[in-house]
């Protein structure tokens, strides 16, 4: 057995890129280690009773420099354990330091990944769909393509626990479907911020997956889903359902985006000599983003 703490750690900027660390010293890396091992425990804890990794193929979609993936180092002896990310530096670091036995590949911003249909038994995407906007649905369906029949996907989303920080307003599920904020924000500032309601996930993700379980975890909602058979296009997955909240959510997202434009204007003004900016707004503007 190799403990994760016996493996090399990525440089601070790669570790801190995926989760805000308290400091760039030992204490920061202890935090990184514990958060990664906790994520692994939560993943394993939500899998069906008796689920074994032996002989399986696993994919960590959006793995960064392997915060969670490193905790599957031992399984990589008897299972195929792959990570992918758009960040070349993170993938290079993984390839140099933890592969083999792990595998790491760089993905493009948009699908597909260079794997055959039905390549994986279990895919997880922690804090990734929380930041995907236009490519969110294509990626969800790409992960479905990559899953074997009956394969499992664990994906997290932001919602009721993140509204104040992200949108600067109290949570109200009636006005959130899949609401995208900070659409073009750079990944190094946390990327776009996407809020989802449970009802929206059930309505839309539920068209492609059976939703098996859902629970709050690490300030987000984690959902375990099993691939449904049959074909579905991105248009079919995203088209509005009957729920009147679909329209309310779209309307509210427009309001949220208008508010962001106003805040950005205020921020620009505040950079003029002698000007100031309200604290709540500052936190949500460039450089003030919290990582999730
Ligand atoms: C908030 S971080 C979470 C990282 C990791 N899942 C974890 O929990 O430590 C989001 C990650 O998703 C990656 N990402 C964004 N778009 C992606 C894409 N299209 N394909 C793969 N990874 C992507 C980012 O580069 C980043 O490393």
Let me know if residue 289 belongs to a domain: no
Residue 79 in domain: yes
Asked whether residue 110 is domain-assigned, the answer is yes
List the Cα angle 260/261/265 in 5-degree steps. 115
Query: How does residue 221 score in pLDDT terms, banded at 50, 70 and 90?
Result: very high
Strand ordering across the sheet containing 80-85: 103-106, 80-85, 57-61, 120-125, 147-157, 220-227, 209-217
pLDDT tens digit sequence for 48-65: 999 999 999 999 999 999
- pLDDT at residue 3 greater than cutoff 60: yes
Going from the Cα of 240 to the center of ligand 1, the distance in angstroms, rounded, reads: 27
Is residue 292 one of the residues assigned to a domain? no
Residue 291 lies in a domain: no
User: Residue 86: CB within 6 Å of ligand 1?
Assistant: yes
Q: Is residue 66 part of a domain?
A: yes
Whole-number Å distance, alpha carbon 277 to ligand 1 midpoint, is: 31
Nearest to 157, CA basis, from 121, 107, 192, 182: 192
**Mean pLDDT, rounded, for 265-286:** 71
Q: What is the dihedral of CA 209, 210, 213, 217, to 10 degrees?
A: 10
Q: What is the pTM of this model?
A: 0.91
Which domain, by its residues, includes 239? 4-284
288 CB-near residues (< 8 Å, 6+ apart): 282
What are the helix (H) ranges across 10-148?
12-18, 26-46, 88-97, 136-146
Helix (H) or strand (E) holding 121: strand 120-125
Q: Is 290 contained in some domain? A: no
Q: How many domains does the chain have?
A: 1
Q: Which residue from 169, 176, 185 is spatially nearest to 204, judged by alpha carbons? A: 176
> CATH number of the domain that 231 lies in?
3.40.50.150
Ligand 1 pocket member 58 (CB < 6 A): no
Q: Are strands 193-196 and 209-217 parallel, antiparallel or unpaired?
A: unpaired
Cβ atoms of 119 and 57 closer than 8 Å: yes
pLDDT at 282: 60
Over residues 246-265, mean pLDDT: 92
Average pLDDT in the 257-264 region?
89
- How many whole angstroms from 18 Cα to the centroid of ligand 1? 7
- What phi-psi label fits residue 101: left (phi over 0), alpha (psi between -120 and 50 degrees) or beta? alpha
């Amino acid at each position: 057995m190799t403990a994760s703490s016996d493996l090399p750690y990525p440089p601070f900027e790669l570790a801190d890129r995926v989760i805000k660390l308290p400091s760039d010293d030992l204490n920061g890396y202890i935090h990184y280690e514990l958060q990664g091992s906790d994520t692994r425990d939560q993943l394993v804890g939500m899998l069906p009773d008796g689920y074994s990794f032996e002989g399986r193929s696993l994919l960590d979609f959006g793995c960064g420099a392997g915060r969670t993936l490193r905790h599957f180092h031992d399984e990589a002896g008897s299972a195929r354990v792959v990570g992918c990310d758009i960040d070349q530096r993170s993938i290079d670091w993984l390839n140099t330091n933890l592969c083999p036995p792990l595998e790491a590949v760089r993905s493009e911003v948009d699908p597909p990944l260079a794997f055959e249909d039905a390549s994986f038994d279990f895919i997880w995407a922690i804090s990734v769909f929380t930041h995907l906007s236009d490519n969110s649905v294509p990626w969800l369906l790409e992960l479905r393509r990559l899953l074997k029949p009956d394969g499992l996907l664990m994906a997290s989303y932001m919602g009721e626990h993140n509204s104040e920080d992200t949108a600067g307003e109290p949570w109200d599920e009636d006005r959130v479907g899949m609401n995208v904020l900070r659409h073009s924000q750079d990944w190094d500032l946390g990327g776009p911020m996407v809020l989802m309601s449970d009802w929206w996930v059930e309505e839309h993700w539920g068209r492609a997956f059976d939703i098996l379980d859902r629970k709050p975890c690490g300030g987000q909602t984690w959902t375990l889903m099993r691939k449904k058979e049959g074909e579905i296009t991105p248009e079919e997955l995203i088209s509005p359902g009957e729920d009147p909240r679909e329209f309310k959510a779209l309307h509210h997202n427009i309001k949220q985006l208008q508010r962001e434009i106003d805040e950005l204007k205020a921020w620009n003004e505040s950079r003029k000599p002698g000007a100031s900016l309200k604290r709540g707004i500052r936190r949500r503007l460039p450089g003030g983003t919290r990582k999730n």
